[in-house]
Structures are given as structure tokens and as C-alpha cells.
Structure 1
Amino acid sequence: MTLSPTGFLRIGDADLQYRMIGPSPEAAPTIVMLHEGLGCSELWGDFPDRLQAATGAGVFAYSRAGYGASSPAKLPRPLDYMQIEALEVLPKLLDAIGFRRGILLGHSDGGSIAAIYAGSLGDHRVRAVTLIAPHFIVENVSVASIAEIKTAYETTDLRARLARWHRNVDNAFYGWNGAWLDPQFRTWDISDYLAYIRVPIAIIQGAADQYGTLRQVEIAQEECYCPVDVTVLPGVGHSPHREAVDATLAISAEFYKAVMDIHEQPQGRAA
């Protein structure tokens, strides 16, 4: 299909907001961007545009249900909502945009969703995965920071600031916050998926991430059989693509080019 630069896709019973930068999926490899737990397609800022310029790839960013201008999600979210996104929604979305080859790039919750997808469906179209501050398990620091942000949402101007980006701001916030603060969510663990990923992974992690420690990186290194390239950025928190944009852009673009160059080499040349 031909994608407009912006619009909505009907996936299941939800209309999902999206941005498409650069060539369409049928014309070039595509980087599919999956946002964080309070993100959306627009909250990536100009990072998708800069990534497209640095790689020449098409870049597709979308807002999951409940975020941005997408349809609201049914609350409370089930505690396996990231597995549902990866196994039920994302496959339909990739088919809908005509995804042929490329990589998944996810931040935070989006990174977890990308890892689940890559470790479960064996999609040959996905040539690599870039994970920015992903979660594989729930840590004490995660729960403490998410509890703090709930207080901020209810007592400061945070709600008003988020409302600039989310049409249904309470749906976006409480859908994410409520799941993470549910006591039963403490046992959430997606590390088993990592052993089944068969494509290269790049992890970009802030050393000062307030939502997760380097234990998340260690889990990937322990569980994965595929190549795992790790970059830890000193003094950077949970959003390297905002706090250290040039470094994150350079790492992401270099990784993309390295993995795609392998696959885009002409086949059958004589030795």
C-alpha cells in the first residue's frame, strides 16, 4: 500500500496514528519505531527524521492504542499487554504497511515489545532489533520511579503537559501506570524470549536510567545466542534519544547500516 506521510491505520478495532518518513516499505528497508510507555509517534520529536536522513531507510513510527491520537485502550490493561502488542497487534500492522525488510527500534516498553516479537515469530523480514532502555524484568527501581510519576501526574502540571501529546491522556497514563504498579506485575518476565532471537541486537542504555539498572543489559547478554552490541551512555537517563541524541543517532544509524549491508549485498558473485 502507499502510505501518506501521516494518517491512521485500522488494526483490529483500533485506529492507530502513524508517521511515515522517507521511502515506502515496498521501495526500501524500513525502520519501525515502537515508543515508550508514555510515548506516541509525535513524542519521538525529530529523531525519526534524523534517523531517516542518516540511513536512507524508510522510517515508520506509530502510536499504540491508548496513545497519541490513536483509539483509546480498554482499561485496565491486562498485565501481559506487551505480549499482546507483540504477538497480536504488531504482526497485523507490519502486514498492513507492506513491511518487506528492515529492523525494529523500540524504546522502553517499545523495546520490550520488539524483543518479544523477534523472539517469538521468527519473522525473516526483521533483520535486526535496536533496543533503547528495554525492560525484560521488573526491578525495584522501576516500581519506585513509576510510583513517583503517578504522584507527579496527580499533583503537578505533568498531566497538562502530557495532554499536549495524548488525546485521551488519562487512558494513556493510567493504562501504563496501573499495569506497572499492579502487585501481580512484579513477576512479569520476558527474558525467555531472548534465547530465541536469531538476529543481531543493539542495546543503548543510559547509566543513570531511573527506570532500570544495567541488570537489564546483563540479562540480554546472558540469555541471547545472537550477537548483542551494548552501548552504555554515562550520565544519561531513561531517554537516550532525547538526552544524548547525537550519540544515540550515530549508534542506531551505524548498526542499521552494518546489519542491512550484509543482507543487501548482491548474491551469487563469483569469488
Structure 2
Amino acid sequence: MTEPATSIDTTSFIELNGGAYPVRIEYQWLNPERVDAPIALFLHEGLGSVALWKGWPQMLCDRLNCRGLAYSRPGYGRSTPRQTGERWPVKFLHLQAHQVLPALLDALGLDAEERSRMWLIGHSDGGTIALLYASEFPEALAGLAIMAPHVFVEPMTVEGIEKARNTYETTSFRDKLQAYHDDADSAFYGWNDAWLNPAFLHWDITEEIASIKRPLLAIQGYDDEYASMRQLDKIKAAVDHAQLVKLTKCRHSPHRDATDEVNDAIAAFVRAHRD
């Protein structure tokens, strides 16, 4: 399947204040002419950005008949990079879910009614942010579909992130990543240092997500190199109404490794729960 191209030249910027320092956020609307349609909000992975989604958000929005909103978190893409020497805390994903994302929605003028019809689509760290947002603001979304999320730390996750660091520092991976970020080191080491912080080994959000009320779809591949199916099983144990999709021949990026299966699953899920 050929994905439609995504150009970072179509992105816009907005400034957020109220944190440790003002940040400029890169964002992109998809199908903006569908002013009355629900919003599908895309939350990228730990090394992602607006551009790294490539054409998949547009493909899914067209399938769902939704408007789409994608953005690069601070430190990523063309958003404000991390400040020199800044290290993200253990609860950096909580900060993104509880502070940065709501501030962005406020800045973009999304009212309560629009938020109540909003679908969160998250991958990896973005899936975790979606879970944390849904648990903190249980009425301020319609539902969430997440891929390869993390709810606790497994040894294989740490091993995978350590391998990623070695690859970044010894191969051309850094140059490839630079094509998608104004500051590749900001994106990579923000994510990598946080996950390899010894204090992060005890990070676990399974109790927090029990407060999720809205429909939840969680997708993961059996060949995920960063986590086992225990992640999805823990989600189901905490959120009984969660629906799980477990994919064979699929690694850490289901939307790339199993595009048709993922699109079919999300479309059926949204259709079943849409007002």
C-alpha cells in the first residue's frame, strides 16, 4: 500500500506558556474543512514527530471521516528543543498528558464539546500519554486507540532502549533522525535518558489507568522488540472494558507493520462507539 506524502511545510506553530519556559509547538490539521467532524488526535512515539507519522494519519482520518490533529511534543520535530542540560523527569509522560496536551487544546481553542468527541490515537510513548490523559480527564474525549503502549517497565524494554542508544551513537541513525527533527539529540537523549534513568525502573501506571471510562482499544504485535504482551494484559486487568488486538508478524510499529489490520480494527472500534 502506498502512503500519501506528508509535508512538514504544511505545519503551523503555536506558543505555549505556563511551563518552565515558553515553548513553540509544531502542529498540523488534517481535513480542516470538516469543521463539524470529530477530531482524531495523533500522539507520536518516543522518537516521533509530525513528519515521522508520514501519510498514515491522513489515511486513517479519511477512513474515519474525521478531522485530524498531529503535533510534535516539546523536544521533537520542529517544536522547541530541550534546553541545554535539561533532563526529563521520571514523570515526563505525566507532564505531557496532564499539562502540555491540555494547554495545546486550550491554545487551539478546542471547547468542551469538541474534546468530548475527540479520539486519541497514540503510538508507544504516545499511547501511554493517551492513557494518562484519559485517566486524568475521563470525560474530555470520546475514546482512545493505542498501539504498543507502555504501562510498566520490562527488562526487555530497557535492553531495547540501550541498544537504540548504541545504534544512535555508532551508525548513521542520527543522520536519518535529523531529517525529522530540528535537533536530533534533543529528541533522542530526552527520550533515551529518561527511560534509562534507574529511577524509571519502578515506573508503573497500571493503578492510575483504572479510572478510564471511555472506550479503549489497545493494539500490539507479538514481535514487539520493546515490550511483551504483558503490557496489553495489564491494561485489560486495569480497564475491564478495554478491547485488545494482538497481531502476528508485527513489531513495535503496528501502523507500519500491519497497516490494513490496524486501520480495520480502529475503524470498526470507532464506528461501534461513535454517537
TM over 0.5: yes
- Separation in 2, partners of 1:21, 1:11: 21
Asked if residue 187 in structure 1 is aligned to residue 202 in structure 2, the reply is yes
- Separation in 2, partners of 1:86, 1:159: 27
SS in structure 1 opposite 2:94?
Answer: helix
- Separation in 2, partners of 1:137, 1:243: 23
The one-character-per-residue Cα deviations of 1:213-267 (angstroms, maximum 9, x if unpaired) are 0000111111114x2111111010000111111111121222122221xx2xxxx
8 Å Cα contact 2:49-2:73 kept in structure 1:
yes
8 Å Cα contact 1:82-1:109 kept in structure 2:
yes
- Separation in 2, partners of 1:132, 1:24: 28
Report the Cα offset of residue 78 of structure 1.
Answer: 1.1
What letter is aligned with 1:235? K
The one-character-per-residue Cα deviations of 1:29-60 (angstroms, maximum 9, x if unpaired) are 00000000000011111101101110110010
1:92 counterpart residue number: 103
Q: 1:73 aligns with which of 79, 82, 102?
A: 82
SS in structure 2 opposite 1:88?
Answer: helix
Deviates more, 1:248-257 or 1:111-120: 248-257
Report the Cα offset of residue 27 of structure 1.
Answer: 2.2
SS in structure 2 opposite 1:33?
Answer: strand
User: Structure 1's 25 and 110: CA in aligned 2 closer, same or farther, altered over 3 A?
Assistant: farther
- Separation in 1, partners of 2:126, 2:166: 24
1:86-165 aligned at under 5 Å gives the runs 86-99=97-110, 100=114, 101-122=117-138, 124-165=139-180
8 Å Cα contact 1:128-1:201 kept in structure 2:
yes
What letter is aligned with 2:127? G
Gap runs ≥5 in structure 1: 264-271
Indicate the RMSD between aligned Cα atoms, in angstroms: 1.5
Report the Cα offset of residue 96 of structure 1.
Answer: 2.4
- Separation in 2, partners of 1:59, 1:259: 18
What letter is aligned with 1:53? D
8 Å Cα contact 1:32-1:60 kept in structure 2:
yes
Report the Cα offset of residue 24 of structure 1.
Answer: 5.8
What letter is aligned with 2:51? E
8 Å Cα contact 2:134-2:140 kept in structure 1:
no
Report the Cα offset of residue 10 of structure 1.
Answer: 1.3
- Separation in 2, partners of 1:192, 1:91: 22
The one-character-per-residue Cα deviations of 1:63-111 (angstroms, maximum 9, x if unpaired) are 0001011101242111110000001111111222333122111100000
The one-character-per-residue Cα deviations of 1:114-168 (angstroms, maximum 9, x if unpaired) are 100101122x240101110000000000000000010000000000000010111
- Separation in 2, partners of 1:71, 1:224: 35
What letter is aligned with 1:9? I
- Separation in 1, partners of 2:34, 2:74: 22
Report the Cα offset of residue 113 of structure 1.
Answer: 0.5
8 Å Cα contact 1:133-1:206 kept in structure 2:
yes
- Separation in 1, partners of 2:118, 2:267: 12
1:212-227 aligned at under 5 Å gives the runs 212-225=227-240, 227=241
Q: 1:196 aligns with which of 211, 222, 225?
A: 211
- Separation in 2, partners of 1:113, 1:23: 24
8 Å Cα contact 2:236-2:243 kept in structure 1:
no
- Separation in 1, partners of 2:148, 2:42: 14
Deviates more, 1:146-155 or 1:26-35: 26-35
TM-score (norm 1): 0.91
Give the number of equivalent residue pairs.
256
- Separation in 2, partners of 1:139, 1:233: 20
Report the Cα offset of residue 26 of structure 1.
Answer: 4.8
What letter is aligned with 1:89? V
Asked if residue 54 in structure 1 is aligned to residue 63 in structure 2, the reply is yes
SS in structure 1 opposite 2:89?
Answer: coil
- Separation in 2, partners of 1:37, 1:24: 30
User: Structure 1's 228 and 61: CA in aligned 2 closer, same or farther, altered over 3 A?
Assistant: same
Poorly superposed stretches of 4+, deviation over 6 Å: none
- Separation in 2, partners of 1:73, 1:147: 21
Fraction of identical pairs, as percent: 38
- Separation in 2, partners of 1:86, 1:146: 22
1:244 counterpart residue number: 258
